[in-house]
Amino acid sequence: MSIIQAVITDNFCLMSGDSRATYSNNNTCKSGFNKVIKLNNQILFGVTGNPIHCFKLFEGYCFYDTKKGFVNSDKEFDDLSYIEFIGIITSKFYKMLKEHIEGISKYELGVIICGYNGKRFEITSFSIGSKFGVPNGINVIHKVDDFPYKCAMIGLSKHINKFEILTNELHEKYLSENFSIRQFKNIMQEVVDDGSKFDYTIDNKLNFETIRKLNKNDDIIFK
C-alpha cells in the first residue's frame, strides 16, 4: 500500500508520495513511480490503491504511465479553481462508488486533493475499498483557527501513528504558528525512512509538491 502525506497551514499546503508501485502478484517495480501531481497553483492531488482505478477518477487531468506513474497532462489548467475541481471529481467519484456498491465494478482507491478554496487551504479525501481504514466516501478536512496546521495521510496505521507522533512533537517543541515547509518535509521523510524498513510496499524516495500563499503588493498570489 502506498503512502500519501499532506499538511495545510495558513500559508501553504504540502503533499508527498512514495515512489514504489506494487502489483497484485506482489512484484514491486523500481522506484520512480510518481503519485503526486500539482495541477496548478491552487490544486494538488495524490493517489494510492489501484492506479488504473485512480486514473479513471482523474482521467483528463493527468497521464498515466505504467513505469513512471502519474504525470502532468499537456493541457493547461490555470483557470481551474479548487472548488470547481472538487465538484468534477466528486461527481465522477460518486458514479464509481455507485458501481462499486452495486457490484458492477470493484474499485480500490484512496486519494487526497489539497488546495485553496477561496478562503483557506483545505484537504479532501476520497476512498473506495477495504484497504484504507476509513469508510467509503468523501472527507473534508480544515485547519482550526487556533492551531497552526492540519495533517492527513493515507497509508498503514503504523505510518499514520508515526506521522502524528512526529507532528505533535514538533508542535510541543516549538509552539510556533509559522512552521516551515522544510520542517514538514523532514517529518514526512522520517516517516518513510522508518516505515520502509518493515513495509515493502513503500520506499523512502518521496516526491513533494507545494502551493505557497504569498502577499505581494497587497495582493494574494499562489505559486
Averaged confidence pLDDT in the chain:
90
Is 217 a residue whose pLDDT tops 70?
Answer: no
Question: What total of structural domains would you count in the chain?
Answer: 1
Q: Specify the higher pLDDT residue, 92 or 169.
A: 92
Q: HSE, CB side, 13 Å, CA atoms: give it for residue 94.
A: 6
Is 24 a residue whose pLDDT tops 70?
Answer: no
Q: Where are the alpha helices (DSSP H) in the chain?
A: 51-58, 82-101, 157-174, 181-195
Confidence of residue 197 (pLDDT cuts 50, 70, 90): very high
Residue 212's pLDDT is what?
93
CA quadruple 6, 9, 10, 14: dihedral sign: negative
pLDDT digits (tens, 9 = 90+) for 32-73: 999 999 999 999 999 999 999 999 999 999 999 988 999 999
pTM: 0.93
Distance CA 168, CA 179 (A): 12
What range does the domain containing 103 cover?
A: 4-222
Confidence of residue 216 (pLDDT cuts 50, 70, 90): low
Residue 156's pLDDT is what?
87
Is 208 a residue whose pLDDT tops 70?
Answer: yes
- List the beta strands (DSSP E) in the chain: 4-8, 12-17, 36-40, 43-49, 62-65, 69-72, 109-116, 121-128, 137-141, 150-154, 207-216, 219-222
Residue 22's pLDDT is what?
79
Q: What average pLDDT does the segment 22-29 reach? A: 64
pLDDT digits (tens, 9 = 90+) for 99-158: 999 999 999 999 999 999 999 999 999 999 877 666 789 999 999 988 899 999 998 889
Residue 165's pLDDT is what?
92
CATH of the domain at 81: 3.60.20.10
